[in-house]
Amino acid sequence: MNNAEIQFLDGPQSRIKELKFTLQTAFELIRGFRALHFVGPCITVFGSARFKEDHPYYDLTRKAAGEFAKLGFTILTGGGPGLMEAANRGAKDVGGRSVGCNIHLPVEQQPNPYLDKWVIMKHFFLRKVLLVKYSFAFVVMPGGYGTMDEYFEALTLIQTHKIKDFPIIIFGKKYHKELLAHINLMKGEATISAADSRLFLVTDDINQATALIREKCIKQYGLKPKVKMKPFSWLFEHK
């Protein structure tokens, strides 16, 4: 956590300090928009930074991302190591585009070497805005607190109709067994509705996930995987 975040979370500040933080935050968000404006429709992959190249989840993530990239989508991740790296690497394997939205952290968060483009953010909440804004499907690989935070953020936005009913695909039935049991508990206690438990697909089958993306992203919403937008030179934009 940087000094600005510590100060912001330390309760009310002077009006000048609050205004300064607001302007800095707005500037950072605009910087993120400028960096990712031309990345095209994305599929965002969430997953742990801690799984190494020799782990089966790394291989699964790499293969799955490659298949999604073949559909014409850009693979967007948090830009770090582990399963984020695996997803970006899978996109590069098949000639797809690979983008990262990284964040300043003391550990585990250096941009991986398989990124065509990346932006580094200071704040988690702004990073999540960008990971959601450009995505037309969310893929959840095994991970920790950060992965769960990102998963439930996307799920809540879909549940509350803040974004469209884009696919959420959870890989790793065994890994997520207890999480899914808790979701069923929430349904049984009526803290979520029965329909809410159908907002995501749980699978270990890459073909099933790819078919869902074709059906719900491309066919249902009429998305064309490659969107051509021309940069404005007078705004110093570039793809």
- Helix crossing, 124-133 with 145-159: angle to 10°? 50
pLDDT confidence of residue 223: 72
pLDDT confidence of residue 13: 79
Q: For 3, what's the count of Cα atoms within 13 Å in the CB-facing half-sphere? A: 1
DSSP 67-119: HHHHTTPEEEE---STHHHHHHHHHHHTT--EEEEEE--SSS-PPPTT-SEEE
pLDDT-derived band at 34 (thresholds 50, 70, 90) equals: confident
- Section 125-144 average pLDDT: 95
Name all domains of the chain by residue range, CATH numbers in brackets: 3-226 (3.40.50.450)
Average pLDDT, the chain: 89
SS3 content of the chain, % helix, strand, coil (to 5): 45, 15, 40
Q: Is the dihedral of CA 32, 33, 37, 39 positive or negative?
A: positive
pLDDT-derived band at 17 (thresholds 50, 70, 90) equals: confident
- Section 66-84 average pLDDT: 96
What gap in Å lies between CA 150 and CA 79, rounded to an integer? 14
pLDDT-derived band at 14 (thresholds 50, 70, 90) equals: confident
For 89-125, the pLDDT digits (tens) are 999 999 999 999 998 776 656 789 999 999 999 888 9
